[in-house]
Structure 1
């Protein structure tokens, strides 16, 4: 078989030895270095566009389309596998995506054609989970805010969240979404002694319990949590999952953390909630427009912590992705059940 691997500024040709090792099964491995994604700026632009509009919103590049023509397997990081690529790849049997999300791949069309799609769902779980807990602590303990004020020469002891300035062990933390990242966040929080409750609209309560979570209704989570952290995939079903109705159900001491996807939250509703003190605060790593414009209303608020979409950044993340994909491809060639098939 011919295996086509598309590299970019993050997944470089030097990092994919484990996938190239699939030559041991008699395969031909072709490495394509996508020049459309050779800078982090271009990568960020592509990523945001595919997250918001899907795989058809960006170009794969003529050379990649040509190379895909006789490929049996395509492995990509962010290089899109859209209709143009799929229609031209007459021999295609499997697409492997080295990311947790598959926004840059037309999964519906691939499934319709009977082409297997696999991904790396927990590649950044550790990084995002660590970062999420860090955001919680930074926001509720005012670490980022106090640093910023000190850099401005201000010695400040009072903050907007003083009414709920309590220890982590006395906080109720609600996780919306209990996949790989949500589960890892709960594990990280265990050392703090926090009460953790879970709502996952795509997982039944028994499964949540089997995974060690304490399932509750969305209404209960919203009304009782001191900290609410989002860990859902973005889709039409989860678009604006948190809107005005949900903010109205939160208690006034609640803090919202979003290290998942910007589209999960109605931005105008959150700005309104923060401005009117309907909730205590927020910490955000993902945005509808990136880089975040200087005039974005978030930057005018004193009860929010902002970071530039870096929750999943780790030297380990890419290595994890390559390992997950190579292991699943090895299962494919051994006629074993693959673990990360996307349907």
Structure 2
């Protein structure tokens, strides 16, 4: 049995290189590492709908030429297109160390009877932590605080200056959570520790589950109009592109803040820019944008009431190792004939 691991230079790939040999010790598996290095990230799908991948590093053609002997293929962000899958006649399992295997053509794999496993929840705690950090940053006016301290030095300690930095307490405030999956549920737990009240919009989740977790299930319109903070934790889908646009922003309080640590496509950035510039909402914190990296002249860079972070949701020391352990466990399940816990369906 030959396992091919694509090392694309990411921290997760490094964790896989460390974890897999130990996890597979005693199994008749030869591990081959293909070092391809970080290439230009493909933000858009490759030309042709049949390719079925996005958000990848590297060249499908380069990878396709190296997999003839692979029984198991393990990747982080390498593109596993139909071309790549067809180049590996012995392939029996594809493992992608991401929460959502968007760089794998799942349909092409399953059409050949090749299961695809992934690492759901690998960065859920990390992303929930960052969500709360951004929420606190907005609540306590940290953008303006840092700016004033940098500009005024000791002058920022003057009473009139500190009074301008008055923030809000979280206890009793309403947090609206859109999407109640792995991350949304963890955000709920953290927010309740601060004494926040929860509204949740997640149509795919049973209302009883939301109520049991301390939230109140509501429509999107109810959530937007009542929340002091709105946090996005839903997956992008064609019907969710621009989920938060001008009509939705118009429902929010002037004092409300928007936080997005999910996917940039969920927000109409032009509409958000106008709402922030005209102060129709108080502020926004965005860890994700439609185009990453953003162009140097992106209008968000000109706004004082927006916090931007460069897609840091999963950038902790724990997330890569968690992903590697999940993937290693699934490979052991496959080798031992046990059910795969994290196999992807055709809808993924």
Q: Give the TM-score, by structure 2 length.
A: 0.87
By how many angstroms is 1:14 displaced? Answer: 6.7
Q: Write the deviation string for residues 81-109 of structure 1: whole angstroms up to 9, x where unpaired.
A: 01210121222222111111222111222
Q: Which runs of 5+ in 1 are unaligned?
A: none
1:288 paired to 2:283: no
Separation (CA, whole Å) in 2 of partners of 1:114 and 1:98: 20
Shift of 1:213: 4.1
Give ranges in structure 2 of 5+ residues lacking alignment: none
Deviations 1:199-236 (A, max 9, x none): 11332323434555432221111111100001112232
SS in 1 for 2:329: helix
- CA distance in 2 between partners of 1:130 and 1:13 (Å): 23
* 1:65 equivalent in structure 2: 64
Match of 1:278 among 275, 280, 286: 280
Whole-Å separation in 2 of the counterparts to 1:14 and 1:192: 34
Q: Secondary structure at the match of 2:284?
A: strand
Show structure 1 runs of 4+ deviating over 6 A: none
Determine helix, strand or coil for the equivalent of 1:273. Answer: helix
Which residue of the partner structure matches residue 308 of structure 2? Answer: 306
1:263 aligned residue: 265
Change in CA separation of 1:22 and 1:178 when aligned onto 2, cut-off 3 Å = same
- 1:26, 1:210 → 2: CA distance? 46
Assess if the C-alpha contact under 8 Å between 1:51 and 1:104 holds in 2: no
Structure 2 counterpart of 1:79: 78
Greater helix percent: which structure? 1
- State which of 170, 173, 193 in structure 2 corresponds to 1:171: 173
Shift in Å at residue 277 of structure 1?
A: 2.1
CA contact (8 A) 1:47 1:78 kept: no
Q: Which residue of 2 aligns with 1:208?
A: 210
Match of 1:9 in 2: 9
Q: State how far apart, in whole Å, the 1-side matches of 2:110 and 2:215 are.
A: 32
Deviations 1:266-319 (A, max 9, x none): 111111111222211111111223333332111121221122222221111111
Alpha-carbon RMSD: 2.5
Which residue of 2 is the match for residue 31 of structure 1?
33
Inter-partner Cα distance in structure 2 for 1:193 and 1:49: 40
Cα distance in structure 2, aligned partners of 1:263 and 1:190: 28
Distance 2:293 2:246 in 1: 25
CA distance in 2, matches of 1:179, 1:111: 25
1:162-196 Cα shifts (integer Å, max 9, x gaps): 6xx43101210011111111111111122211101
Distance 1:50 1:129, change over 3 A: farther
Per-residue deviation, 1:118: 1.2
Residues 56, 106 of structure 1: 8 Å contact kept = no
1:13/1:253 Cα in 2 relative to 1: closer, same or farther (>3 Å)? closer
Separation of aligned partners in 1, 2:4 and 2:104: 15
Q: Deviation of residue 19 (structure 1)?
A: 1.9
**Alpha-carbon shift at residue 47 of structure 1 (Å):** 6.0
